[in-house]
Amino acid sequence: MTVKQLRGKLSQFDDETRVVVYAEDGNPVLFEIDDVSIHTETPSRSGDGKAAFEFERDGSASWAFISVSAA
């Protein structure tokens, strides 16, 4: 999802609506959003096929990272 797509979805809600992240990996878990920041990394895949990022000063892509903590 891009920032534009996320902004469009969030614009449908009242400004005072709380936002949490919902993750389901066996049991549902809720996370509070702590911060949003931009990083430039080179995306890659690990040996087990999971997405990973190499943090490089002159990486090829900019990503918005959302930092969360358990709600």
pLDDT tens, per residue, the chain with 71 residues? 889 999 999 999 999 999 999 988 788 899 999 999 887 776 666 667 666 666 666 666 778 888 899 88
pTM above 0.85, yes or no: no
Length of the chain: 71
Q: Which domain holds residue 11?
A: 3-70
Distance CA 33, CA 21 (A): 7
Please name every residue paired with 42 in a beta bridge, in sequence order, or none if there are none.
54
Distance CA 36, CA 65 (A): 6
User: How is residue 48 annotated by DSSP?
Assistant: T
User: How is residue 11 annotated by DSSP?
Assistant: T
Count of the separate structural domains present in the chain: 1
